[in-house]
Amino acid sequence: MSFVDTLRQWDEAVTCVDRQDLAEAYRIFLSIQEPNSKICFDIGCLHLLNQDLDAAEKAFDCSIRKDEHLAVAFFQRGITFYKKQRYEESLGDFQRAFKALRGNQLIDYKALGLRYILYACDVLHNMALVEAQLGNWEKAQENLVKALDYKTEAKLNTIDRALQSTLKQKLFKLVEFPSKLLFKPNKNYVAELEKKDYLGKAKVVASVVPQDDFSGFAPLQPQVEDGPTCPKEPEVLRALEGEPHTVLFEFVPETSDELAVVPGNIVFVLQKGADNWASVIFNERRGLVPYNYLERLEISLASKQNEGTQVPQRRERPTRPERKTGVTQWSSVDQDEQSPDNSYIVKVRFTFTFTISVPPESPYTALIEKISKKLNVPAKQITLSLTPEADEQSVINANTKMESVWSRAKDRHITLWCKTTEQTDGKPHSEIHLVALHSYESSNPEDLNFQQGDEITLLSRVNQDWLEGQCNGNTGIFPAAFVQEVPVNGQ
């Protein structure tokens, strides 16, 4: 089924729900051959409306498999498990939904086509209710007290009433998702379903050719003698970021970070991952597309002008590359850290995350020297460990047998944790602070909004264009061009 057909049926199904024709909506949804995560979520909501909990569970399972970062799907499946009295599984899903919020007060799904805001305090409220069902009243109270840190004014009374109930060891009401709210397809895509003829048919007004009834468009003819034999390379193409590629096959996205494209589209590849996924720009939107669906495009028009017209050979559509974690893991090694294929890639988790490369079977001194140089901190002040908690068994030092450390690497990748002993003003010595040069506002739930002049703590570098940081208690990603690094002391 093509992307256009899927889009059309999806739009028809949600229109039926708006008309209260749930049976027809359900029939249309089930006829979609390759539903994406949002469509699976919609199907699960319809099953919940019909109180078919087993079918709802399967639909939400499918939605989560296709997009492991869809917090609202975990929230809905947690509600489904709660209604089936499978409290342990319900608690696990609510915890996953809270983790997907990444410390933010809420996620507004309006930008993704769902008019719903998932509040962190609502997730914690439901976690507390499940703990109460399990008889863990103290944990229930702890979750509700934690919910007060994420509350909004509208949610304060609900949390207060729930707290009063836990003090009396009485159950309280579950916060439920309004199941008639569904993900809707992108309105810009839907608008393109109906083809429009904006120009109409050309009409001959005057012609030097007698009885001319030509109704098309003729190419422009040279106006001067000895003019250029071929057009110049467009400046706009040379100015665009990334490498131009032609889309060979239609690609239907299954997760929110993938991009829908059809044959003939021109995309600009920003980065290609080792797993055969490419980060591209198309119509001012960024997303992931399988690289084997693309073909590099030569921008120069001169070379194409003299080529004979050739009938393209039909090619088989390639298989979709696998994505083990739901997102492509781009290598975050700095440009000056690029290494041969046989080197080890070490991801170091500090107050922010960075990556270094070291030769195979490197000794401890070589490893700590690189990390010391990266953090600008003396090696003697750095503690490395194999786990977040630096205990006696996980700490790596000069006495550690590095063979046992490198043996933990998978595909020559290993993650280590790092702490420093020296601190300044209660903060790690090498913590990086940024100041906002411009205000940044985005409706995307994973983005970090801030105002000009705000101070931001850097957490990690996503790539050369995007950073992850914390500001005003919120965590998210933002464009690197909007900020500037400042010393920790602010001087």
**DSSP notation for 175-225:** ----TT------HHHHHTSS---SS--------SSTT----S-PPPPP-ST
With cut-offs at 50, 70 and 90, classify the pLDDT of residue 151: confident
* Predicted pLDDT at 86: 93
As a whole number, the mean pLDDT across the chain is 78
Q: Which pLDDT score is estimated for 198? A: 53
List pLDDT tens digits, range 400-415. Answer: 888 889 888 887 888 8
Q: Which of 444, 453, 433, 452 is nearest to 476 (CA)?
A: 444
- As given in the structure block, the two tokens for residue 56 are 């709802």
Q: Tell me, what's the pLDDT at 132?
A: 94
Least confident of 82-86, 146-150, 204-208, 468-472: 204-208
Tokens for 487, please give them. 């010393």
Average pLDDT over residues 26-31: 90
In the predicted structure, residue 325 carries a pLDDT above the cut 60: no
Euclidean distance between CA atoms 490 and 417, whole angstroms: 27
Please tell me the predicted confidence (pLDDT) of residue 229.
46
- Residue 176: pLDDT band (50, 70, 90) is very high
Contact 471, 457 (CB under 8 A): yes
Average pLDDT over residues 257-262: 83
pLDDT for res 46: 92
* Per-residue pLDDT tens over the stretch 194-253: 555 555 555 555 554 455 454 444 444 445 444 444 444 444 444 456 788 888 888 888
Give the per-residue pLDDT at 323: 58
Residues in the chain: 491
Which amino acid is present at 164?
Q
DSSP letter string, 234-261? PHHHHHSSSEEEEE-S-B--SSTTB--B
Question: Tokens in use for 206?
Answer: 């005057």
Percent of the chain topping pLDDT 90: 23
Q: Where are the beta strands (DSSP E) in 116-155?
A: 117-119
Say yes or no to pLDDT of 350 above 80.
Answer: no
pLDDT-based confidence at residue 358 (cuts at 50, 70, 90)? confident
Set out the domains of the chain in order of their start, with CATH numbers. Answer: 3-167 (1.25.40.10), 235-300 (2.30.30.40), 345-423 (3.10.20.90), 432-486 (2.30.30.40)
Between strands 413-420 and 344-349, the pairing is parallel
71-83 vs 120-133: helix crossing angle, rounded to 10 = 30
Q: Which residues pair with 356 in a beta bridge?
A: 346
Q: Which residue has the higher pLDDT, 174 or 430?
A: 174
pLDDT at 107 over 50: yes
Per-residue pLDDT, 283: 75
